[in-house]
Amino acid sequence: MEEAPYGSWARVCGLLILLLVGCKSQKEPLRPADWGEKRRQIPLYEAHGFTLEWIDTTGKKIQLQAQSVLRLREKDTIKWLLRGAVQAAYVNQNGDTIETLRSQEAEIFPDRRSFTASKEVFLTTAEGLRLETDYLIWEHEKNLITAPDWVRLETPKEVLRGEGLEYRTDQRTYRLRRTRGRIQSPLQ
């Protein structure tokens, strides 16, 4: 039997009609209500074995180290989350270390110029001040370090324990509430 010349065309057209009729336009799947929040939790940047050095406006160098760092968006601000053997050193133009802070975790808020450290926080200064606490806030613009909870503070002349520290980095003065400890007499 001989096939009609339009028979193969008829089959191709019929197949196309079936394909077109069988296809439905599909809308994008709806995103869950908390999609935006979940998206913001994804780090903008992640690094391991992190070391960073920069010079601030006064010419002092800041050296920052951590085992891992995440750059996150939190509402309308960017923050850096550092974890594992965090160390921040503040070095003057001569290369002398002015202050060193060590902790297990830290958060940096660059736009607010503040720094929080938590879990086994140790701060030492060139003048011999040693500070130990569980949570510390360093507000660079205000030249203020606060530790709202327990604190152990050691200077060359005293060893104090207390709660609620306020330390002025520009004046090198501190205030500590609920104090107990040993203070050397100024008469000696």
At 60, which CATH number?
A: 2.60.450.10
Better-scored residue on pLDDT, 16 or 70? 70
So what's the pLDDT on residue 1?
Answer: 47
Label residue 187 by pLDDT band (50, 70, 90).
low
Q: Confirm whether 127 is domain-assigned.
A: yes
Q: Confirm whether 53 is domain-assigned.
A: yes
**Among 98, 80, 81, which Cα is nearest to 89's?**
98
Whether the full predicted model's pTM is greater than 0.75, yes or no, is no
Q: Confirm whether 100 is domain-assigned.
A: yes
Q: Confirm whether 179 is domain-assigned.
A: no
Q: Confirm whether 169 is domain-assigned.
A: no
Number of domains in the chain: 1
So what's the pLDDT on residue 170?
Answer: 81
CA dist 146 and 21 (Å) reads 70
Mean pLDDT of all residues in the chain? 79
- pLDDT above 70 for 40: no
Label residue 92 by pLDDT band (50, 70, 90).
confident
pLDDT tens column, 101-129? 899 999 988 887 788 999 999 989 888 88
Domain that holds residue 107: 42-144
24-36 mean pLDDT: 68
Q: Confirm whether 56 is domain-assigned.
A: yes
CA dihedral 15, 17, 22, 25 (to 10 degrees): 130
**Among 104, 105, 39, 102, which Cα is nearest to 72's?**
39
